[in-house]
């Protein structure tokens, strides 16, 4: 039996993101209806939605529908931090990530299946990593177009996965209500219902659309009804930074082991930057402890660098500062990133008065380590990335992370 080739466009959407974050931050809210916002509901958990609560809705009205709901003001800084964490996980799967909001993104995994397997397998790993590392539910739709992948992810909620197989797109799409289409809001839906059009399939065959909706709108909706959406997934969402992170299971307490992890992460980040011909000025280290606690430390260097040694050295320094917030707890995740990127190739050399530090671009130590990076990159390019490994080898996630390094 010949199995069809799976489509390679993913739409990943965090479920009830703000409310899910609040439930993750405060375990006492798990399973309870949660409303995020002040006078207006910005987000509602699925437990609250079961009572008819929707955003945006006045909080007073929401509490009438769901009197037992817990109202929280919102942790917006944490939302942005966790959004970055999620996107970093996505970029460990593929460099082609197009973030379209704080809690959703399109991914094109066509260039990664030879390493990870099918798009379904990739999606399962993504969902497991987001759940395990960040404690958040993620729904994913897989289809041949961005439009259909987004519809599929909506059908996957909450916390599910829906694949629209190649060749079966119309079979999946046409029975859906017209409200599933982009651009069909309440007003347009009401007009279509007055025409007797209730499903996408009926819209696809209706000859009366242009008269009621206008030529442009009717043409757009008809194309979507036949799954015509030529837009590619546009990568480069995080063009301003390059990063990688590693979950550490139950956690590490030994400083030497953490240094080993940082060495591996610095190697990945430096290698990706060099492959893109880019350098970064600001190093950021993120350390997660059990529960929701995260410590983030940054340092801006005198000049941009893509040196593995420089990134590793500065992040080891940042680790000492981050551990001040540990309260003796183990470290469960370490993330390294470089930002304020540039494509400038010129290096201001230092006078050879001393060896200098690897973090000082142009010093003797830096130049030697850059030469070593170039040699290692050449060996890996010729004989494979596994021949030389720096730092912790990690787990099976290493193969997964390599996908981002292909950009």
The residues annotated as belonging to the active site are 104
Contact 335, 286 (CB under 8 A): yes
Is it true that the peptide bond before 56 is cis, omega within 30 degrees of 0? yes
Query: Which residues are 242's β-sheet partners?
Result: 338
Separation between Cα atoms, residue 100 and residue 163, nearest integer Å = 21
From 339, 282, 348, select the one nearest 314 (Cα to Cα): 282
Residue 223 backbone class (left: φ over 0; alpha: ψ -120 to 50; beta: rest): alpha
From 23, 67, 78, select the one nearest 296 (Cα to Cα): 78
Number of Cβ atoms within 10 Å of the Cβ of 309: 23
CA 108 to chain centre: 12
CA 97 to chain centre: 8
Separation between Cα atoms, residue 188 and residue 253, nearest integer Å = 58
């Amino acid at each position: 039996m010949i199995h069809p080739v799976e489509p390679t466009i993913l739409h990943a959407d965090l479920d009830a993101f703000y409310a899910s974050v609040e439930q993750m931050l405060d375990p006492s809210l798990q399973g309870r209806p949660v409303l995020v916002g002040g006078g207006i509901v910005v987000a509602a958990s699925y437990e609250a939605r079961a009572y008819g609560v929707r955003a945006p809705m006045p909080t007073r009205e929401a509490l009438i529908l769901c009197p037992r709901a817990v109202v929280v003001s919102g942790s917006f800084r944490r939302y942005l931090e966790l959004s970055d964490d999620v996107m970093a996980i996505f970029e460990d799967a593929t460099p082609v990530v197009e973030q379209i909001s704080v809690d959703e993104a399109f991914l094109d995994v066509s260039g990664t299946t030879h390493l990870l397997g099918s798009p379904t397998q990739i999606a399962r790993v993504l969902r497991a990593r987001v759940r395990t590392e960040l404690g958040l539910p993620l729904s994913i739709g897989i289809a041949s177009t961005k439009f259909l992948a987004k519809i599929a992810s909506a059908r996957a909620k909450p916390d599910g996965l829906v694949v629209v197989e190649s060749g079966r797109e119309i079979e999946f799409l046409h029975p859906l209500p017209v409200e599933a289409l982009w651009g069909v809001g309440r007003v347009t839906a009401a007009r279509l219902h007055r025409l007797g059009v209730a499903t996408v399939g009926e819209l696809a065959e209706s000859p009366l659309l242009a008269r009621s909706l206008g030529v442009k709108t009717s043409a757009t909706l008809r194309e979507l009804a036949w799954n015509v959406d030529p837009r590619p997934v546009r990568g480069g969402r995080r063009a301003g930074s390059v990063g990688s992170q590693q979950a550490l299971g139950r956690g590490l307490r030994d400083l030497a082991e953490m240094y080993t992890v940082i060495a591996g992460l610095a190697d990945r980040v430096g290698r990706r930057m060099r492959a893109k011909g880019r350098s970064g000025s600001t190093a950021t280290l993120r350390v997660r402890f059990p529960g929701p606690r995260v410590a983030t430390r940054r340092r801006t260097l005198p000049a941009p660098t893509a040196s593995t040694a420089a990134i590793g050295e500065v992040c080891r320094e940042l680790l000492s500062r981050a551990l001040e917030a540990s309260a003796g707890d183990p470290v469960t995740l370490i993330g390294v990133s470089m930002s304020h990127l540039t494509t400038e190739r010129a290096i201001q050399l230092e006078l050879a008065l001393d060896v200098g530090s690897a973090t000082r671009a142009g010093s003797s130590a830096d130049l030697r380590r850059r030469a070593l990076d170039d040699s290692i990159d050449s060996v890996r390019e010729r004989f494979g990335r596994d021949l030389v490994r720096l730092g912790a080898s990690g787990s099976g996630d290493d193969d997964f992370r390599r996908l981002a390094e292909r950009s």
